[in-house]
């Protein structure tokens, strides 16, 4: 029996559909649209109002609406079908994992990440890293991989993006009420709520552990907004990537050290510890401390810990690799290093980095030193990371640096439009999802009749346009100004999507290098193009905010107005609408700073080909028939030259390749037959290989299982 802390607050629910509550507390619903429909169809308006959060929904819904559903045979049929598939999912004895690793019963992977992007109603992610963690844990559940996630719940989340009339971004923070989210306090084996303690300078901080059920796996999120923490410490986990470096190191201490303690208190026995990015790397120090306390020397402890840890680095951008000044480390760790039997200097040398701006304690260096396997997130990024961290491996050439690569993927069920799923169900064969990383299965998309395929794509585009217009309307209403008179987006126009964090290396304004040329391209008679932008800049990234403002102002200019729009508040819901509804996905970062990128994978999976710089994952996927490549795979003397060249290449592609493919060669029914082939090729080549299914199979084979089978006399 599940324990509902806030049971008293729910609208009374008829017995016949009482399991709606249980379903709400398993995030399985986040990747099963048919489960979400069980709530939506009861009260569609409320469903929007609570932003697709079923817990909130069940607290606010009118009782008579629940009763109507419980008396509606059609509803009950759907209800029974969803719960049947939920039950068979949860109780399955045979899983992908048990078939492939029948002897690995004791394996447990502890997966640490500073952010988890699971659903729009749970704003505890900022961008690609979080989305990847969310997809990782969902896929682990689908495959039956025993994995427990560890992270933070940020009561104020990341921020909500608001744009003022001039297009300047400001941040809005809403308090997340724990009674509204599908989380329960984690209970230890004796049934008590778990609060862990971590030493900070001059005080102890307490973190309460919440448990989210993600399919078959659990995700533990810590919260410091509790008694008896000081007001300042209660704010510690309030915001993702908020505050100064002191706050950041404190957060990372709670994540790494507190995370290990939370797992111990709950009785978990991980055999693999995965640091997803360096934020959680302090966990290795806590694991060493445990062993030293048992009587091992530091060297023995380090060997043991290293044998069970793996690490993924996610960005070649220096600011993405945390490094703390030594005096700060001293302040936070002076009582910790004696517990490792180390001197100050020995401790500092564990992660000392002297390459940049004086000596620092680098989290990436710490994680690399204390893990058995380490990887970048695409082949190209692996190469770049080997160069970046070569100094840690004296005497080795760049190619010999032991950082491999496992290219990212996306969780198919999360990002696939229900309409496309219906098509795949009809044409890919009955159990296509059991083997969704098998490229052979995906060749069958060629059997989908062009007309059916095209009508489905048109329907998704029309949904996106309706969604975009509504979002714009809301924006103007909030600003208190009338919506524009020009037509906002048109149904039959080639539609390009560009949505991502507005980090400057992603070059959101590249398209505007030559505004006159852009105007010409977007307004060519018979071959017009429209572009939908979305994206957030980090609250402290003013250059990024200027990029947003530039795009916003461009979207007001004669010649571009109506053809370019900017949607506020890029989140998972906006992302889903865009990747499912556009015709082409645009990605033009400054090579080689995009470690992988995943949004283009989501678009391709839905039949919207990628048009991208050959950075991140794209060089591995691009075959000349499944999308377009901007620029060359080369390095430039200056950024100006690189930007100019890439912009020229992009204009050329839009004008001479992409628009003609879309508008020309239509058959008698108006279907662009050549275009449809490109879309199908995008699906067939990207969907299997750039899935989290393929990605997790790689992690198991190359990192998790080699580490898990290690003999562990010390029981790390």
Ligand X SMILES: *Cc1c(COP(=O)(O)O)cnc(C)c1O
Angle between helices 673-689 and 450-479 in degrees, nearest 10: 80
Taking the complex as a whole, how short is the minimal distance between the CB of residue 531 and ligand X, in angstroms?
A: 16
Of 224 and 407, CB closest to ligand X: 407
Of 233 and 571, CB closest to ligand X: 571
Of 500 and 590, CB closest to ligand X: 500
Q: How many residues does the chain have?
A: 716
Find, among 207, 187, 181, the residue nearest to 26 by Cα.
181
Collapse the DSSP code of 482 into the 3-class scheme (helix H, G, I; strand E, B; otherwise coil) and give the result: coil
Taking the complex as a whole, how short is the minimal distance between the CB of residue 377 and ligand X, in angstroms?
A: 10
Provide, for the chain, the percentages of residues in helix, strand and coil under a 3-state DSSP scheme, each rounded to the nearest 5.
50, 15, 35
Q: Which residue is it, tokens 């008896």? A: 228
Taking the complex as a whole, how short is the minimal distance between the CB of residue 551 and ligand X, in angstroms?
A: 15
Of 20 and 687, CB closest to ligand X: 687
Of 544 and 597, CB closest to ligand X: 597
Residues numbered 644-663 forming contacts with ligand X, rule: CB under 6 A = none
User: Which of the stretches 73-81, 88-96, 127-135, 689-697 binds ligand X when contact is defined by CB under 6 A?
Assistant: 127-135
Residue choice 411, 461, 500, 538 for contact with ligand X (CB under 6 A): 500
Dist. CA 5–CA 287, nearest whole Å: 33
Taking the complex as a whole, how short is the minimal distance between the CB of residue 514 and ligand X, in angstroms?
A: 24
- Centroid of chain to Cα 9: 32
Taking the complex as a whole, how short is the minimal distance between the CB of residue 99 and ligand X, in angstroms?
A: 30
Q: Could you tell me how many residues of this chain bind ligand X (CB under 6 A)? A: 12
Q: Is 131 in the site for ligand X (CB under 6 A)?
A: yes
User: Which of the stretches 159-167, 545-553, 564-572, 703-711 binds ligand X when contact is defined by CB under 6 A?
Assistant: 564-572
- Centroid of chain to Cα 12: 35
Q: Is 127 in the site for ligand X (CB under 6 A)?
A: yes
Mask of contacts with ligand X, 513-542, x by CB under 6 A? ------------------------------
Taking the complex as a whole, how short is the minimal distance between the CB of residue 598 and ligand X, in angstroms?
A: 5
- Centroid of chain to Cα 237: 19
Taking the complex as a whole, how short is the minimal distance between the CB of residue 78 and ligand X, in angstroms?
A: 28
Show the tokens assigned to 491: 């149904």
Of 216 and 381, CB closest to ligand X: 381
Of 127 and 149, CB closest to ligand X: 127
Residue choice 31, 116, 337, 570 for contact with ligand X (CB under 6 A): 570
Q: Is 377 in the site for ligand X (CB under 6 A)?
A: no
Taking the complex as a whole, how short is the minimal distance between the CB of residue 419 and ligand X, in angstroms?
A: 19
Taking the complex as a whole, how short is the minimal distance between the CB of residue 577 and ligand X, in angstroms?
A: 10
Of 225 and 646, CB closest to ligand X: 646
Residues numbered 36-75 forming contacts with ligand X, rule: CB under 6 A = none
Dist. CA 225–CA 260, nearest whole Å: 19
Collapse the DSSP code of 67 into the 3-class scheme (helix H, G, I; strand E, B; otherwise coil) and give the result: helix
Taking the complex as a whole, how short is the minimal distance between the CB of residue 44 and ligand X, in angstroms?
A: 23
Taking the complex as a whole, how short is the minimal distance between the CB of residue 122 and ligand X, in angstroms?
A: 12
Dist. CA 138–CA 132, nearest whole Å: 10
Report the half-sphere exposure of 314 (CA within 13 A, side-chain side). 22
User: Which of the stretches 6-14, 123-131, 182-190, 515-523 binds ligand X when contact is defined by CB under 6 A?
Assistant: 123-131
Q: Is 690 in the site for ligand X (CB under 6 A)?
A: no
Q: Which spans in 3-72 are helix H?
A: 19-24, 33-40, 44-49, 54-60, 63-70
Taking the complex as a whole, how short is the minimal distance between the CB of residue 575 and ligand X, in angstroms?
A: 3
Of 13 and 572, CB closest to ligand X: 572
Q: Is 134 in the site for ligand X (CB under 6 A)?
A: no
Find, among 520, 522, 502, 657, the residue nearest to 588 by Cα.
502
Taking the complex as a whole, how short is the minimal distance between the CB of residue 570 and ligand X, in angstroms?
A: 6
Show the tokens assigned to 105: 């019963």
Of 527 and 602, CB closest to ligand X: 602
Instruction: With beta carbons less than 8 A apart as the criterion, state whether 329 and 348 touch.
Output: yes
Long-range contacts of 653-656 (CB under 8 A, 24+ apart): 653/611, 653/628, 654/521, 654/529, 655/521, 655/524
Beta-sheet pairing, 352-353 with 360-362? antiparallel
Find, among 323, 393, 317, the residue nearest to 358 by Cα.
323
Instruction: With beta carbons less than 8 A apart as the criterion, state whether 153 and 237 touch.
Output: yes
Dist. CA 474–CA 467, nearest whole Å: 11
Taking the complex as a whole, how short is the minimal distance between the CB of residue 471 and ligand X, in angstroms?
A: 14
Residue choice 143, 441, 572, 608 for contact with ligand X (CB under 6 A): 572
Mask of contacts with ligand X, 179-208, x by CB under 6 A? ------------------------------
Residue choice 286, 571, 643, 698 for contact with ligand X (CB under 6 A): 571
User: Which of the stretches 9-17, 80-88, 363-371, 566-574 binds ligand X when contact is defined by CB under 6 A?
Assistant: 566-574
Instruction: With beta carbons less than 8 A apart as the criterion, state whether 626 and 608 touch.
Output: no
Of 598 and 692, CB closest to ligand X: 598
Of 280 and 599, CB closest to ligand X: 599
Dist. CA 401–CA 384, nearest whole Å: 11
Q: Which residues is 585 bridged to in the sheet?
A: 497, 610
Q: Which residue is it, tokens 């998790």? A: 704
Residue choice 575, 609, 672, 688 for contact with ligand X (CB under 6 A): 575
Taking the complex as a whole, how short is the minimal distance between the CB of residue 451 and ligand X, in angstroms?
A: 30
Long-range contacts of 265-269 (CB under 8 A, 24+ apart): 265/188, 265/194, 265/196, 265/209, 266/186, 266/188, 266/189, 266/194, 266/209, 266/220, 267/188, 267/189, 268/108, 268/110, 268/148, 269/106, 269/108, 269/715
Burial letters for 463-502: b for 16+ Cβ neighbours within 10 Å, e otherwise?
Answer: ebbebbeebbeebeeeeeeeeeeeebbeeebbbbbbbbbb
Q: Is 471 in the site for ligand X (CB under 6 A)?
A: no
Q: Vertex 712, ends 710 and 713: CA angle to 5°?
A: 150
Q: Is 128 in the site for ligand X (CB under 6 A)?
A: yes
Instruction: With beta carbons less than 8 A apart as the criterion, state whether 502 and 546 touch.
Output: no
Mask of contacts with ligand X, 585-624, x by CB under 6 A? ------------xxx--x----------------------
Taking the complex as a whole, how short is the minimal distance between the CB of residue 558 and ligand X, in angstroms?
A: 30
User: Which of the stretches 325-333, 390-398, 424-432, 567-575 binds ligand X when contact is defined by CB under 6 A?
Assistant: 567-575
Give residues in contact with ligand X (CB under 6 A): 127-128, 131, 500, 570-572, 575, 597-599, 602
């Amino acid at each position: 029996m599940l324990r509902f802390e806030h049971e008293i607050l729910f609208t009374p629910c008829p017995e016949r559909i009482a399991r709606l509550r249980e379903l709400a507390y398993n995030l399985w619903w986040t990747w099963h649209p048919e489960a979400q429909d069980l709530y939506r169809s009861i009260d569609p308006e409320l469903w929007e109002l609570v932003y697709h959060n079923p817990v909130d929904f069940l607290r606010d819904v009118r009782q008579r609406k629940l009763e109507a559903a419980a008396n509606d045979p059609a509803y009950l049929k759907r209800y029974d079908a969803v719960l049947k598939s939920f039950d068979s999912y949860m109780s399955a004895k045979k899983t992908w994992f048990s078939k492939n690793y029948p002897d690995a019963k004791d394996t447990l992977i502890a997966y640490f990440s500073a952010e988890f992007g699971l659903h729009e109603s749970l704003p505890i992610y900022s961008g690609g890293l979080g989305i990847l963690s969310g997809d990782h844990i969902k896929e682990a559940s689908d495959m039956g991989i025993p994995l427990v996630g560890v992270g933070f719940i940020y009561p104020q989340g990341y921020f909500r993006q608001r744009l003022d009339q001039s297009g300047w971004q400001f941040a809005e923070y809403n308090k997340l009420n724990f009674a509204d989210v599908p989380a329960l306090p984690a209970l230890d084996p004796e049934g008590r709520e778990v609060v862990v303690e971590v030493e900070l300078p001059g005080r102890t901080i307490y973190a309460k552990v919440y448990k989210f059920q993600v399919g078959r796996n659990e995700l533990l999120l810590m919260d410091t907004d509790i008694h008896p923490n000081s007001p300042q410490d209660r704010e510690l986990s309030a915001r993702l990537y908020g505050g100064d470096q002191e706050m950041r190191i404190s957060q990372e201490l709670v994540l790494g050290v507190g995370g290990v303690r939370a797992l111990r208190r709950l009785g978990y026995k991980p055999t693999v510890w995965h640091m997803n990015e360096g934020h959680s790397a302090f966990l290795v120090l806590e694991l060493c401390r445990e062993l030293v306390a048992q009587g091992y020397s530091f060297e023995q402890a380090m060997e043991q810990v290293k044998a069970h840890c793996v690490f993924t680095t996610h960005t070649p951008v220096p600011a993405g690799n945390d490094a703390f000044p030594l005096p700060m480390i001293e302040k936070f760790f002076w009582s910790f290093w004696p517990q490792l039997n180390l001197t100050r200097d020995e401790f500092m040398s564990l992660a000392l980095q002297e390459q940049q701006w004086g000596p620092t304690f680098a989290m990436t260096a710490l994680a690399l030193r204390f893990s058995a396997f380490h990887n970048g997130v695409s082949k190209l990024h692996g190469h770049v990371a080997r160069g970046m961290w070569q100094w840690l491996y004296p005497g080795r050439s760049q190619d010999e640096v032991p950082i491999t690569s496992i290219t990212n993927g996306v969780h198919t069920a999360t990002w696939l439009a229900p309409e496309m799923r219906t098509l795949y169900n009809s044409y890919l064969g009955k159990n296509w999802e059991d083997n969704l990383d098998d490229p052979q299965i995906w060749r069958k998309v060629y059997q989908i009749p062009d007309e059916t395929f095209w009508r489905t794509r048109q329907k998704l585009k029309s949904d996106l346009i309706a969604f975009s217009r509504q979002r714009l309307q809301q924006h103007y209403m909030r600003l208190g100004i009338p919506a524009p008179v020009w037509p906002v987006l048109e149904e039959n126009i080639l539609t390009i999507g560009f949505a991502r964090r507005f980090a400057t290396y992603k070059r959101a304004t590249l398209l505007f290098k030559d505004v006159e040329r852009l105007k010409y391209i977007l307004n060519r008679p018979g071959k017009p193009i429209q572009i939908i932008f979305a994206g957030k800049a980090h609250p402290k990234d003013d250059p990024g905010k200027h990029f947003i403002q530039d795009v916003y102002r461009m979207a007001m200019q004669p010649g571009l107005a109506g053809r370019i729009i900017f949607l506020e508040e890029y989140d998972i819901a906006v992302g889903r609408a865009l990747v499912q509804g556009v015709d082409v996905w645009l990605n033009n970062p400054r090579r080689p700073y995009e470690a992988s990128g995943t949004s283009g994978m989501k678009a391709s999976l839905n039949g919207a080909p990628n048009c991208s710089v050959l950075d991140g994952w794209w060089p591995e996927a691009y075959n000349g028939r499944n999308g377009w490549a901007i620029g060359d795979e080369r390095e430039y003397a200056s950024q100006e030259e690189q930007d100019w060249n890439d912009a020229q290449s992009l204009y050329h592609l839009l004008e001479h390749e992409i628009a003609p493919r879309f508008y020309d060669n239509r058959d008698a029914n108006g279907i662009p037959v050549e275009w449809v082939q490109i879309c199908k090729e995008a699906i067939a080549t990207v969907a299997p290989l750039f899935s989290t299914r393929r990605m997790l199979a790689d992690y198991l084979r190359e990192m998790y299982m080699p580490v898990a089978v290690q003999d562990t006399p010390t029981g790390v």
